[in-house]
Structure formats: structure tokens, C-alpha cells
Structure 1
């Protein structure tokens, strides 16, 4: 059964946009996944220890895999693109997080969906709101747009893209 899954992408090492494009390319090559839409790019201050700024985006996927199976593939993509897991919340070439699985809640030792920190993170909510502002958080009962409206200002701003696909907004959700 096909599900719409929203994945957050982030990078703060090297050529950040190239890392995001490489991850998007890898996502598009998964047999049971179709990339539906991509948000704009957003530049944001890091969470955690001092480190370079992040470049973030969100992609909507039509996915025939379970969230757990998709997570395994995302972690392999991260590894293939040079991700090292040496420090919690440390710098990374690429970070891929499952933010939402439309209509599903996943709570197991290795995966929590919706992402547990999503409602606190403007760098994830801003691009997600571009793609699906009316998407409802199944636990908090609020839309992405409402969650974004409740957040205090954070150091997040839209960034110009050179190789990243232009944001594609559904006409009925703008």
C-alpha cells in the first residue's frame, strides 16, 4: 500500500546543496519510491554544538515501503554520502529524517514518526509547510501551518538554489 512520506534533508559540511541533490538523486532511484515534490532550500543555524550552518529541505515521497524499511535505506544513503556518526547533533554531510508518514504513528526503538522534535524545529516546518500546510500532526492534532505559527522566531531563511529543483507547490494548498 502506497503512503505519502515526508523526509527532511539537511547538510552542513562541504558543498551542502550538492549533498542534498545527491541524496535526492539516491531517493529517486529507490524502486518502491517516487519523489513527488521538493521544497525550497532553507539555511538555518545548527542545533547542538558549535558547527557550520545547515541547508535544509523536505521532499514528499510516494512510498510502497514500511517506514522502518525506508529508514534502513535512508541510513545507507547517508553512509554512502559520507555521513559519520561520531557526535550527537554533530556536523554531517547529509542527514535524512522521516518527518511524517501520512496518517501513521510509528513508535519503536529505532524510529519515531512523526519526528519527536518536529513541532519545535522551524528548519523542518518551513519547508514542510511549503509542501503540505494542511497536513495534520496525528499526535498534536494541529496542522503544519498551525505548528509553524506557534513557533518563536528561529534563525531560518530561504536560500537560493543553483542545482536543487525549484519548489513545486500544490495549487490547492497555497
Structure 2
């Protein structure tokens, strides 16, 4: 993951100004509080495709629950590269967000019917709580899990900019 934060937890310098970059704790709290991300994939002819998804962040990986018959899923089978943006804010001085990019990996059965998969225990518990207010994940046999352990993370929080 490439990002330098004010608490020094990474290796490379983020291109955007360091003064508006989120710390690791701010980034984790932001990703935990947001509900929708935008996921960009690439088609065989190089054309981008962007769609909205629900997600959970476990501090290391972004977990996406996607329809297996979607354009996104087909494109990721051919080219696993993706970029994800989670952002928030109305006025310019309120804008904040995180951009993550890397390669998606399918985890568990596809489509997911609920067969035991220890690697999915934590993300499914987090997802069920965040979106359904439940302790366990309902499975519809149409979705499956994608995991993105980002190669690159860029964050911004315009609320940190001096106004005036």
C-alpha cells in the first residue's frame, strides 16, 4: 500500500498535499462509516466501467459483495485490476475521501450460498451488521465476495485545509 500518513504508517509519499491526507485511524473510521463505494473495472477493449457497491473495510482489505452475473464480475475475471473511491461531503471545504486500487480476488464460492469459509467469517459478520442490522449474513445465491488488498491508497480531507 503506498501512502504516507501523519502518523507515519506507510512507505511512499502521497501525491496530494500531506496536510489534507487522512491518518490511518481517520481513514479506517471514514471507511467504516461510509456505505457506498464506486468501483471501476476495465473491459477487454480498455473501456472503463464504474458502478456502485456496498462494502466493508477490515483495516487491511476492502470486501465487496458483487453480483456474479454483473458486467463488473465478468470484467474482473479477464482483468482483476480495479480502483475504488469512497467519498463524502457537499461543500468544497467538507470534501473527503479514499481511493484504493489493486487487484480483486474472489473469495469463497461464487455465487455464495453460505458454505463454510473461515476467511469470510469476519467480513460477512461486519457486512450483515452494517447493512442489515443482523449478526449473520443472508445469502441469495447471486452474489459473491471480492477482496481488494490495495496496492495504493490515496486519501483527502479538505476539512483540514485552512479556510480564509
Q: Compare the two structures and name the one with the higher strand fraction.
A: 2
The TM-score, its normalising length taken from structure 1, stands at 0.25
